[in-house]
Structure 1
Amino acid sequence: MTLRRVNVIILVLLAVAFLIIVQRNLLNLSDFLHKEHQDAGMILPFESEPSPNLRPEYERKGEEIPILITAAEERLGAVVAAINSVYQNSKANIVFTIVTQNDTVDHLKTWLSDTRLKYIKHKIVVFNPEHLKGKIPKDSLNLEAAKPLTFARFYLPLYIPEAEKAIYLDDDIIVQGDIQELYETNIKQGHAAAFSDDCDSASSKGIVRGAGNQNNYIGFLDFKKESIKKLGMRANTCTFNPGVIVANLTEWKNQNITQQLEHWMELNTKEDLYSKTLAESITSPPLLIVFYKHHSTIDPMWHVRHLGTTGAGNRYSLPFVKAAKLLHWNGHYKPWGRTSSFSDVWDKWYIPDPTGKFHPVRRHTEDK
């Protein structure tokens, strides 16, 4: 073999080695870029689609946190905002049970599947109106509080049969904290649920007092009726707000809470036990009776309420509202309406309706 041919072969081998080195360096660079962009949550410009690790959702593991919320057609935007706020502010393994009515199922499914909420774990359950047969006075049917879905919270073990513990949320709420913390609320032995007391320790610090809307039992029950007198309840006992419930479902079933609630609903249709003068709610009274001085307490910052009450919400400072773990617009003024306090906080979590049926109402829309 001539020297010239040997030199050519050596050059070819060196070229091949060089190409191999370059290829390896490029691969290493690609891996590095993937890692850097993955950490930043970005999609590389030369990828045709996100890799599984870069998709906007990850698999949530650990103990399931069951949450029940209702979905009325005319308030569907509220449900979407509430669910979005719960989900985005926690990495917990949340499973939503959404109780609705037949005419809302398709609309709800579209809203969930065509938006970022397509990643949530959920089941949709249709409320059976037979549950309420003979339990709601006929003259109450037109009340907002008498709408069937408001009673879904009475049937928590029915809708979440396998769980030992669960959370119920009204739809007019926004969660700003990690729902895992609320779920871990301590429920005392022998108690089936925890609520926010309307005279809790926070009132002395101006949190609830700032709303100017504390309540007591006489505002919900007629203490002149014999069935109420026999219970031995004090009329001036502070109430609790059932818009947020942390429930021990094992105790709930053992104590037949649902059956007890139904008993008082049925008795009211015969004896008219609820107050006519101070409160319109027909959902709260059975809960107030069954859980009288027999419930645990939720941290006040996990149920900052009265944002929908006239003038009350305006008494909260913006820093306080931002610090609250859960905001509740209970009252007539809702954050998707024209006159609510802190509607901009609610707007952050609202996801537009892909069907175009639901629109938050805002003052400026009238000026256009």
Structure 2
Amino acid sequence: MTIPVFYAISDDFTKYAAVSLNSLVKNAADDKDYTVYFLSQDLSAQHKQDLQEIGSSNVHVKFFKINDEIVAPIQNRTENYLRADFFTMSIFYRLFIPDLFPQYDKAIYIDSDTIVNDDIGKLYDTELGKHLFAACTDSSIQFVTKMVAYIEDVLVLDPKKYINSGMLVLNCKAFRDENFIDHFMRLLSKYHFDCIAPDQDYLNEIGDKRILHLDPKWDAMPNDNTEPLTNPSLIHYNLFFKPWHFKNVQYEEYFWKSAKETKFYNDLLTELNTYTDKQRDEDRHKLDHMLAKEDKTINDPYNWANVKKQGPVSL
């Protein structure tokens, strides 16, 4: 039996994904077998080779090209923008994993801006039961007033149960049996919900009441409001807490330890040292831009809250 793990990347994110993959390989159990898939539309031959070279005798690295037909219904529209400032199809790839890989009844998805400090196989051992997927509460937004208001008033969900989609244990069989993708596509095309976090909001809404919440150590996120977790199993450098752009980021030592073991270490150091204060300031203000959506969506007659008032048939 192999443990399937999925990343979704664009070609320019390869060096960060390589650091994550290296950490996964280093912590993989010797007595287990893993297959890591990179989902992409534009991965170069050189970058495929770079990633394959990080694999090991029991961590097999493979690639899957997402063709345009699969994701055609997802349009480059403002409601699908990531961080409210640009469109990237890759954030939606994770939703298609169960249908694209029918040989798996369960799978793990992780973002590429992560570090794995424990055996990822332990996540795979999670008993999902009738849950649609397992994930961790999004700790990065618990102290962001506008985001909490958005979750409560626009999504009509409990912020303490709102999960981050950067780490998922997917019940692939349930996704297929319940036609998750058909449901997602219908909602997407019918309502064009204006989302702060597009793929994540849909997962929280469709999975509401059927999400298994895991120990936060499996999606530890840097923030300025809490002390770091001791021995986090998986670190997710979410939002703008990127150690390759900012210094003194919480948990940065884990990233640089793994980075040093990859061919991209010097490139990443150069990126950090040449990233300007102006760029850092712009990054911080992107969060304000993203949160400005809350003011707009609260008055949208077709936001999640208003559609929910029409009853379950609407959703």
Length-normalised TM-score, structure 1: 0.64
Q: Is 1:121 aligned with 2:60? A: yes
Amino acid in the other structure paired with 1:212: F
In the alignment, which residue of structure 2 is the partner of 1:99? 39
Tell me by how many angstroms 1:217 deviates.
Answer: 7.3
Matched position secondary structure for 1:289: helix
2:245 aligned with 1:337: yes
In the alignment, what sits opposite 1:250? 173
* RMSD over aligned Cα atoms: 3.2
| CA distance in structure 2 between the partners assigned to 1:90 and 1:70 by the alignment | 20
Per-residue CA deviations over 1:94-115 (Å, capped at 9, x if unaligned) read: 101111123x2313222134x4
1:239 corresponds to: 162
Q: In the alignment, which residue of structure 2 is the partner of 1:192?
A: 132
- Relative distance call for 1:357 and 1:158 in structure 2 (3 A) is farther
Q: Cα–Cα, structure 1 residues 162 and 240, in superposed 2: closer, same or farther, change >3 Å?
A: same
Residue range with higher mean Cα deviation, 211-220 or 163-172: 211-220
User: Which residues in structure 2 correspond to 1:141-156 (within 5 Å)?
Assistant: 143=82, 146-156=87-97
Change (3 A) 1:129 1:332: farther
Which SS does the other structure have where 1:241 is aligned? strand
Mark the CA change 1:283 to 1:220 in structure 2 (over 3 Å): closer, same or farther. Answer: farther
How far is 1:240 from its partner? 1.0
TM-score for both structures, normalised by structure 2: 0.74
Match of 2:5 among 54, 63, 67: 67
- The equivalent position to 1:157 in structure 2, one of 89, 93, 98, is 98
Structure number with the bigger relative contact order (C-alpha 8 A, sep ≥ 6) is 2
Supply the distance in 2 between the matched residues of 1:365 and 1:82 (Cα, whole angstroms).
21
1:14 corresponds to: none
Is this contact kept in 2: 1:79–1:172, CA < 8 A? Answer: yes
Q: 1:65 to 1:214 in 2, by over 3 A?
A: farther
For 1:67 and 1:293, locate their aligned partners in 2 and report how far apart those are by CA, in whole Å.
25
Bigger radius of gyration among the two: 1
Query: Aligned residue for 1:179?
Result: 120
Aligned counterpart in structure 2 of residue 89 of structure 1, from 19, 24, 27: 27
Q: Residue 267 of structure 1: CA displacement?
A: 2.3
Distance 1:210 1:220 in 2: 10
Percent of residue pairs identical? 19
**Cα distance in structure 1, aligned partners of 2:151 and 2:73:** 21
Of residues 116-125 and 252-261 in structure 1, the stretch that sits farther from structure 2 once superposed is 116-125
Change in CA separation of 1:116 and 1:240 when aligned onto 2, cut-off 3 Å: closer
